[in-house]
Structures are given as structure tokens and as C-alpha cells.
Amino acid sequence: MRRVRYGSPGGPLFVEEAPVPEPAVGELLVRCEAIGVTLPVVRKVTEAAEPVALGGEIAGEVVAVGEGVSRFRAGDRVTGLCFGHGYADFAPLLETMASPVPDGASAVDAVALVRSGLVALGALAAARPERGEAALVTAAASGVGHLAVQLARARGAGRVVGAVSDPAKADFVRSLGADDVVVYADDSWGRPVDYALDAVGGDLLTPALTALGPGGRLVAYSSGGGTIQAYDLLVGAKSVVGFQMARIARGEPELYERWRQELWRLFAAGAVKPAVHGEFALQEAAEAHAVIEARGNRGKVVLHP
């Protein structure tokens, strides 16, 4: 089979031939039909001290199951987060991380919706939203952000503001249901909001916090770091909470499963529609990474083996 790898920090990415893996205990072997490209994986290539397996979101057909697997069998269509080599024709997937793909949904739908949607839905839940409140979503055109905009609306937000790096993304974000779109460099982000979902971090934490009204809540779920001054929280009695999807997946599997089911219900009802920026062949993984690095995507970037 083919898989994408890199030999030293920073790349370049290349395709190599490798043996088809055998599913270990508790694993499924999936023939990949779609692979999601995410910023955390792109960052691993450029920032990790040593080369790592390019894992991530996959969707496809189960072709074999390992010992102890009880929920799935060969022929099932699944999606989930692969911790091994996911940029490949075949990839291992832990049964605990696998979710069935319902009839009527494609592999691209699944890989664009489930993991990114779970992060968006989890960050939204961490904000404790109340119906009618105003929401702010940073990186609103990203794979996670474009779903967060739609989910905030579906969960009853009275006003949704999308924040983007480039004004060229404004029309796309408005098409998702955002009432207003602001650009990071703007002096003001408009009327205050009740809660903000921040996927960027770094220097953007301060303006995101400033955008909150009294008692506002900021949910930080980015791996981009950043610092907040305590005084900025005291003014207006604002709060910040961190959200990490891995903690939910490992520690609260029942909640994780409820969120997955909610995403598919919303998808079936047409309340959430994943957008795909581009679909790349496996050998075009470097080009797909370049889109993410340039922050040029509007929706999900997907690889097709």
C-alpha cells in the first residue's frame, strides 16, 4: 500500500510503499476513502523534534478487525481518529475511536463532519450557551470554525459573529449563517458578545477577550498558546475555560457518543452542512498542507487515497 511520510522535521512529504498493517487487539483496519487534513498534524511536521506518523481523521470501509472488537465487522463504513499512519491506503483505527457512517452520508461528509464537529460542539458546550446569546467564533472559515458557526446557530444563538484573517472569507462565513464578520486586524470587533470560541490563540486571545461583554466567557481550544492578563478578566468579571477533545474522548465516552449522534442528527436535518475547500490525491499531501499553512481554506481540506 501507499502512505505519506517525511524524513526530517519540516518535510518534505513523500509517498512510499509499505506493508498493509494488521489490526491489533481492539483495532479495525480501514480502507481509507477520505482523510482529513488538520492544523495540528500540519504543525507536527514543522514543529516536532523527530518525524512522527501522520495520523488524523479517516473515513472508509472496515476490511478486518482485531481480537476483542465487537461493535464493527468487515464491510462496515466508519470514521474516526487514527493515531498511527492515517495518510495511507489502509489505516488502523481503535474501536473506541470509531463511529459508524450512516446511509446517505459519504466518506467526505464523515471526515469533514465528525471530528471537527465534535471539537466545535465540545467547545460550544464548554461555553454554557443560553438561547438568544451572542456568539463569536474565531477561525470561522476553518474546518472546525465553519461548523462552530452553524452549531452556535443550531443551539439557539441570537447573533453569531465570525472572525477571520482575510476579508475574502467574509462571504463564505456569512453563507454559513453568521450575522456579522470581522477581520482580526480590525480596530473593533463590533458589539460585545456573550461568549467566544477561540481556535487561534496567541495574540488573538486579547481581542477575543475584549470582544466579550460583562460576564462573558472565552473558550480556548487552540494549540497556539498565548497569554491573558488577570486584570483583563477582572474588568467585566469575564472568564476563560480551556477545552480539549482528547479528555472527553478518553474520560467521558458516553458524552462523546451523545455528541456524535447529535452531529449526525443535525446533518440529517440539514442544520449542519460540512463544507469542503478542496480534495487532494494522496501524492498531493504537500499541497494540501500548504493550503492549511497559508490559512487559505474555507471549510475542510481532504485527501483521497
Consecutive 10-residue averages of pLDDT for the chain (305 residues) = 94 95 97 94 88 94 97 96 95 93 93 93 97 98 96 97 97 97 94 97 94 97 85 92 88 90 94 94 96 91 94
Please give the pLDDT value at position 295.
87
What's the pTM?
0.91
Domain at 2-101+275-304, CATH class: alpha beta
pLDDT given at position 146: 97
Q: What is the 3-state secondary structure (H, E, C) of the chain?
A: CEEEEECCCCCCEEEEECCCCCCCCCEEEEEEEEEEECHHHHHHHHHCCCCCCCCEEEEEEEEEECCCCCCCCCCCEEEEEECCCCCECEEEEEHHHEEECCCCCCHHHHHHHHHHHHHHHHHHHHCCCCCCCEEEEECCCCCCHHHHHHHHHHCCCCEEEEEECCHHHHHHHHHCCCCEEEECCCCCCCCCEEEEEECCCHHHHHHHHHCEEEEEEEEECCCCCCCCCHHHHHCCCCEEEECCHHHHHHHCHHHHHHHHHHHHHHHHHCCCCCCEEEEEEHHHHHHHHHHHHCCCCCCEEEEEC
pLDDT for the residue numbered 218: 97
pLDDT of residue 250: 81
CATH architecture for the domain at 119-245: 3-Layer(aba) Sandwich (3.40)
Residue 112 has a pLDDT of 92
The predicted pLDDT at position 235 comes to 87
Residue-level pLDDT at 167:
96
- Specify the pLDDT at position 3: 97
Q: CATH 3.40.50.720 spans which residues of the chain? A: 119-245
Residue 40 is predicted with a pLDDT of 86
Q: What pLDDT, on the 0 to 100 scale, is given for residue 286?
A: 96
Give span(s): CATH 3.90.180.10, the chain.
2-101+275-304
Quote the pLDDT of residue 245: 87
